[in-house]
Amino acid sequence: MVKRLVVASRNKKKIEEIKNIMEEAGYLAVSVEETGQEVDVVEDGNTFEANSLKKAFEVMKACGEVALADDSGLEVDALDGQPGVFSARFSGEGATDEKNNAKLLEMMKHIPAGERQARFVCAVTVAFPDYSYFTVRGECKGEILFEPRGKSGFGYDPLFYLPEYRKTFAELDSKTKNLISHRAEALAKAKEMLMNGKRRKTLEDRNTE
């Protein structure tokens, strides 16, 4: 019997990507809207893991079903991990991809080539109706260019350069990007956890760590 997996996202492309990956684990990914519920979560955690955990549990409690949530962003070594959990709103109120990229380039204008290492990070949490859960993390390492390149993708993709491919995320074809991205790695780990039934934590476990 196929089990449902409620995805804490309104992004149809993301839901479709998750649906394709989780089918092999015996789960049918659906949106919150498809359950007839409405969930609005304030992402106020200090880490990607905290935000994904909060979203997954809010959706699980509202829908009464297994829920999956992710949170992702960019970490730049020379900026002590910024923009981090503030990636989407890095340039402040009214933030856009263009404004965020412009702020990042301005902050890094004096950082030389060879010292511009960065990583995209994605944390995925799956929460279950018995209040157990697991969280996994995916990363994709690269470096920040001095100017944007490429027309596809979104967010910081035009600035995020992968030396082994000699392209930015915005220059890669979608098939390649979806194979090597931070989200792809995290979702693959989540699928493996669902398939092999590894022990899951509870919130009580987390509070005693």
Mind telling me the catalytic residues?
71
Q: Which of 124, 122, 94, 109 has the alpha carbon at shortest distance from 159?
A: 109
How many CB atoms lie under 10 A from the CB of residue 8? Answer: 26
Inter-residue contact 169 to 162 (CB < 8 Å) = yes
* Residue linked to tokens 């880490």: 47
Integer Cα distance of 17 and 146 in angstroms: 31
Inter-residue contact 14 to 7 (CB < 8 Å) = yes
